[in-house]
Each structure stands twice: as structure tokens, then as C-alpha cells.
Amino acid sequence: MPDISRRSLAAGVGLLAGAVAVPAAAQQLLAVANAPKFRAQPLTLNPDKIKWLSAQSITEHHAIYAESVNRLNAITEQLAQIDFAKAQPAEIGELKREQQVVYNSSLLHELHFECIGDAPTSPSGVFAQAMSRDFVSLDRWKAEFAAMGKAVTDGKGMVILAYTPRDKRLINHLAADHATGPVGCVPLIVMDMYEHAYKADFAGDPAKYVDGFVQMVRWVTPERLYREAIRV
């Protein structure tokens, strides 16, 4: 029998899938071949230009995020190789719960890094109007967002500004264990309150980290995401 590559077999199975029943073994090969591959995104900022956080802290934090992406790929591949008809439900449940955690961790970390600014700026355009509408003023939003960050005293969680398409409003919410928050919300700003985000520079005083983040938000990120969200 000729040696057929996994990719070739998967392509062949795909052509036949609509016409004939696919054997279980072929389905498993197809699942493995089609399993998504995730890639850690590079930093979109220059760590040396961020004066309120050290470059070392940022790069080490980014390495932790990359580990989450690697774990996500490992879990996704493991799930693709499982015969679900024979697998233990407890095994599937544990893998799917961890998959959600590391998937959310990956996305929220990417947004966190995109929101780290190197100088004080202010929101503009329709996003600035939405901030005033839903929080009265930028200063009031900063006060609420900062207070939420300082309320995370166990070194675990994230503070998120999000847009709710159902209500067409902006809200701040806390996310524990990398949960993304209210259903259907679109995260616009993420402040990582896990200890690894601030310990190297602000050990014992996370409040200074919170104040630095809030004052240095890179507003172009939530502005872009908000414009995309309101088009949906």
C-alpha cells in the first residue's frame, strides 16, 4: 500500500464526505488535520518606550502569554485525536474547561498588550461620545476602572471595558479565571490583574500599576474595536 500523507488523506476524505459515510478512523485523521493552529502574536509596542513598566516585565509577561498559546495548541491537538465515542466524559470535560481558560487567556492577553500606552492620550470620535454617554466623563470612567483593579486583591483576574451589542452600551466588568464576562460582550480594554503582570515592578503595591495603566491607555485600540463592534 502506498504511503499516503495525512494531508492528502484528509483532502480525499473531504471530497468523499458528502457522498459516502466516512469511516471512524478516517474521521479522526481528518479531525487532526483540520485542528486549528494558534500562533502567539508579537508585541505591537516597543517595551523600551514604556516608562511606567520595565521592558523586562513586559517581555516576561509576553512569554507567559506565549506559553498559554502553546498549551492551547496542545489541548486542541489532544482533543482532535480523541475518539469521543469511547472517551471518558470526565476527561473530555476537564480538557474542554482548560481549553476555554487558555483560549480566553490568549485573547485577553493580546488585547491587554495592545492597550499599553507610552504617553497619556484621550479617546476621540464616536468612541469618546460613547464614553461620555455611558460613564458621564472620562475621569469618572478612570475612577471606576481603577477602583475595580484595586479591588482585585488575590492577584487573579482582569478588568475589562466592553461593549454590549444587546444594550448598545459600554460597561466595565471583572473577569476571574480568564472568563470573558457577560455573554455577547465585546472586550475593548483589558487590564491584567494577575500578579505576573505587575509583581516585577510593583511588588506589594499593585495600586501604582493600576494608576499607571489607566493613565497610559493606548486609546487607538478600543476606538478601533468599538467602531468594528457597532457595525455588527
Conformation bin of residue 103: beta by default, left when phi > 0, alpha when psi is -120 to 50: alpha
Residue type, 226: Y
Write down the CATH number for the domain with range 125-230. Answer: 3.55.40.20
Whether the predicted pLDDT of 15 surpasses 60: no
At 19 the pLDDT is 41
The per-residue pLDDT for 228 is 97
pLDDT for the residue numbered 27: 75
Compute the distance between CA of residue 128 and CA of residue 126 in angstroms, rounded to an integer.
5
From residue 105, give the alpha-carbon distance in Å to each of 69, 137, 200: 8, 30, 20
Name residues whose C-beta falls within 8 Å of residue 93's C-beta, 6 or more positions apart in sequence: none
Residue 11's H or E segment, with its range, is: helix 6-16
pLDDT in tens, 152-174: 999 999 999 999 999 999 999 99
Sorting pLDDT into bands at 50, 70 and 90, what band is 232? low
What is the arrangement of strands in the sheet containing 169-175, beginning at the earlier edge strand?
169-175, 158-164, 186-192
pLDDT of residue 168: 96
Q: CA triplet 183, 184, 189: central angle to 5 degrees?
A: 100
Report the share of the chain in percent with pLDDT over 70: 89
Residue 105 has pLDDT above 90, yes or no: yes
- How far apart CA 40 and CA 113 sit, in angstroms, is 12
- Higher pLDDT: 187 or 24? It is 187
Query: In the chain, where are the structural domains located?
Result: 6-114, 125-230
Q: State the pLDDT confidence band at 121, using cuts at 50, 70 and 90.
A: very high
- Using CB atoms within 10 Å of the CB of residue 163, give its burial: 0 to 12 exposed, 13 to 18 middle, 19+ buried: buried
Which pLDDT band holds residue 4 (cuts at 50, 70, 90)? Answer: very low
Place of cell 469511547: 86
Sign of CA dihedral 63, 220, 50, 199: negative
pLDDT value at 5 more than 60:
no
Cell 466588568 locates to 173
What average pLDDT does range 188-213 have in this prediction?
95
- State the pLDDT at residue 21: 65
Look at residues 206, 203, 51, 67 and name the one whose alpha carbon lies nearest to residue 117. Answer: 51
Cell 487607538 belongs to 220
**pLDDT one-digit tens code per residue, 42-73:** 999 999 999 999 999 999 999 999 999 999 99
- Comparing 78-92, 115-129, 138-152, which segment has the lowest mean pLDDT? 78-92
More confident residue, 14 or 226: 226
DSSP letters for 187-223 = EEEEEE-SGGGTHHHHTT-HHHHHHHHHHTB-THHHH
The predicted model gives 117-145 an average pLDDT of 97
What percent of the chain has a predicted confidence (pLDDT) above 90? 76
Compute CA distances 22 → 32, 62, 138, whole Å.
Answer: 15, 42, 57
Hey, is 76 helix, strand or coil? helix
